[in-house]
Structure 1
């Protein structure tokens, strides 16, 4: 059965952008792009790794808004309306919560590799691995 509402999580990475392009091309249905602003761990600020403060939060929110606006502009170029959303929290949890709360029936996302001991995490990335393993809907991972 063809999906009726596709979610594309975007993080500004090339693979996420490729996933968005694929979704625009493959699915002729309602499409939502989601950017998740990751809350910075307080210990990172206290340990001196990151500067604490509102300026960092504002910067992250501005970047998130920019990511979804770029997606909206790309969709507008091909006369394709999309919906956009920005959430805050753990990326995998926020994606899964959004799926549950908004009648999403398919997720298209980029996969990110990394230095991990588990082969699935190396192939897909930790967020993609978590979404694939826990989503109650079909997930397409673009590599």
Structure 2
């Protein structure tokens, strides 16, 4: 595989996203990274935090969380090659769209480590990582 020039690491406010960012930074040391903060709309069936807050507060908090994530994972020399972008929408839709529209070469994301049983999985639908893999034309690495 040829090393990608542009790597996307979507963040949804879920556990283990620090591992995805660390992996991307270490595996692709010459790539430009985009930390894509996906803020789920309030009218979605489930919001990312389960707490419904005003849109402005949610986006401010999401950006602050992404900045904290970046500071906790990346050494200061690596932060200059990571930019933070915010988008609102359903992750299974906005991540593939952003990937194709922004010239991203590779996606690295945390998987859903909760091993939901069949009934709950059918009720909630597929996990986000599976949806992103199926809808993205570029390679996707999912860290389980």
Q: TM-score, normalised by structure 2?
A: 0.78
Query: Is 2:61 the counterpart of 1:63?
Result: yes
Root-mean-square deviation over aligned CA pairs: 2.7
Runs of 4+ aligned residues of structure 1 deviating over 2 Å after TM superposition are: 11-14, 71-78, 113-118
Q: Deviations over 1:63-103 (max 9, x none)?
A: 21112212442466241121110000111111111101110
Say which SS state the counterpart of residue 67 (structure 2) adopts: helix
Q: Does 1:133 align with 2:130?
A: no
How many pairs does the alignment contain? 132
The answer as to whether partners of 2:25 and 2:74 remain within 8 angstroms in 1 is no
Distance 2:111 2:101 in 1: 23
**What residue ranges of structure 1 are gaps of 5+ in the alignment?**
none
- Which one has the bigger helix percentage? 1
TM-score, scaled relative to structure 1: 0.79
Gaps of 5+ in 2: none
